[in-house]
Structure 1
Amino acid sequence: MTKLLLDENFPEPAARRLDASGLNVLAVRDACPGWVDEEVMALAVDEQRWIITFDRDYGDLVFKQSLPAPPAIVLLRESHYRPAEPADWVLSLLAQPDIYVGRFVVFTRDKVRVRAMLKAM
């Protein structure tokens, strides 16, 4: 089963919806509020969780700083949405999770781009 780590910027209504869907969800705002991105990334690696975020900094951590990567990072690139809508986006990606393992995923309503992460754990 895919385990998720929702970054602090992930909306609470969407987090509740993912949790209610039966997924293994851990929200940074509840488990470790205020942690810096490197700490969040280390937790995701340790627990083998996908990071779900609106924060572009995770790309720098993986591709520029070469930090060990979690199974997947999903960057949601939408600025206007209903509060629960990001849950729909994540659930659509999880319909075929195997194609995203080891990848940095950039999601928009129009397309999904993927890039291999060399240090995927």
Structure 2
Amino acid sequence: MKFLADENLDWQIVERLRQDSHLVWYVAEMERGISDDVVLDLANQEEAILLTSDKDFGELVFRLRRIVSGVVLIRLAGLSTISKTEIIANAINQHNAELMGAFTVITSTTIRIRKLDN
């Protein structure tokens, strides 16, 4: 799968997904500090699913009705980077067929996948 990882994600997560054969662009390797709108545009341009821990993307998608290829919102505050990496990689590998065209939230106990009406 193709992903665009927001700069707020740990590089270890990006590297793990790359090791799992996913194509991952990482904002931190491209252009730090770009706006959420530009990040969303980049993800759409590449037909990539956005990986982020920034809740503002929920507002862009649901309140402002921005079209999006897919978003995975990561809500794993307080966990070690190793734990986060494992949870995210496992969730993506188990649910990859469901992520495109959906807004997905990953927490330490649940994975919620909501299909979007684009």
TM-score, structure 1 as length reference: 0.87
Distance 2:2 2:89 in 1: 12
Where does structure 1 differ by over 6 angstroms across 4 or more consecutive aligned residues? none
More helix by share: 2
Is 1:97 aligned to residue 69 of structure 2?
no
Q: Which moved more, 1:110-119 or 1:32-41?
A: 110-119
* CA offset digits 1:57-105 (Å, max 9, x no partner): 11110111111112x2011111112224333223222233112221100
Matched with 2:78 is 80
Stretches of structure 2 lacking an aligned partner (at least 5 in a row): none
Task: Output the aligned Cα RMSD.
Answer: 1.4
Stretches of structure 1 lacking an aligned partner (at least 5 in a row): none
TM-score, structure 2 as length reference: 0.89
Q: Quick check: 1:8–1:33 contact (8 Å CA) kept in 2?
A: yes
- Provide the secondary structure at the position in 2 that maps to 1:95: helix
Matched with 1:67 is 66
- Provide the secondary structure at the position in 2 that maps to 1:96: helix
Q: Quick check: 1:77–1:107 contact (8 Å CA) kept in 2?
A: yes
